[in-house]
Amino acid sequence: MSLLPAPPERSGAKIGEYCLGYMLSELQHHVKFARDQAARAWNPVAAVPLSGQTAVIFGTGTVGKGIALRLAAFGVRVVGVSLSGRPSPHYDEVYSLAEASSALQEGDWVINTLPLTPATSKLFDRERFAHMRHAGFINVGRGGSVDSEALLDALELGSVRTAVLDVFETEPLPPESPLWSHPAVRITPHISAVTSPEEAAEELLATLDRIEGARFRSPTGSIRSGDTDYGCEGEEL
């Protein structure tokens, strides 16, 4: 597999499936049943329905919308958080960043998709985690948005029940990081939105088509930036 980042439109689909997979895995007790199988133990436990749960997604851009669309199809109530708090498609409600504490209290799941900026550096600190109510936390945005020590404290205190982490402030994650061994943490090596060589080739051809189309449409023959710009990471702050 080629570890190339997918463009935002495809990232939304890929990251949406990544989040959905880990959410269903927890709610259907996959880890517990794997341990039971290893111990040859027969301990039935009913799955928790995903429908009716609330997911709070930080970021209402392309990636966030891709996640929201997929979760909504399973009956999840989707709440967004952005700098402006403007209504956005596929979200049942959108809060401004200033109102984030109210949104966090509603979430069964909290998903970060935001890029790293001065406004989002260590955004998820002890204060933010303290507003969560035994939520599952998924970070598919940037590792620098999370205070790792604060996250570990929140896991011990119970405001966060599990954490699925695909991005880290330092990558690869150092072997001495306590995140590796925490039983409630799931770690993946920044793979939630990688693209295959075939997809990369397809995207390259599509980009070349857009460039040729732009040249054909422009009276000067120049390429307009709007025809090829993916909009950074596709997320509204």
Q: Which of 29, 30, 161, 190 is catalytic?
A: 190
Catalytic pick among 77, 90, 128, 142:
142
Are the C-beta atoms of 195 and 10 separated by less than 8 Å? Answer: yes
86 is catalytic: no
CB 237 within 8 A of CB 117: yes
Residues 6+ apart with CB under 8 A from 90: 65, 68, 69, 72, 78
Q: What is 171-235 written as a DSSP string?
A: SSPPTT-TTTT-TTEEE--S-TTEE-HHHHHHHHHHHHHHHHHHHHH-TT-PPPGGGT---TTS-
Q: Is 126 a catalytic residue?
A: no
Q: Beta strands 194-195 and 4-5: pairing type?
A: antiparallel
Residue 134 and residue 161 in contact, taking contact as beta carbons nearer than 8 Å: yes
Q: Any residues with CB less than 8 A from the CB of 84 and at least 6 apart, and which? A: 96, 236
Task: Give catalytic residue positions.
Answer: 142, 190
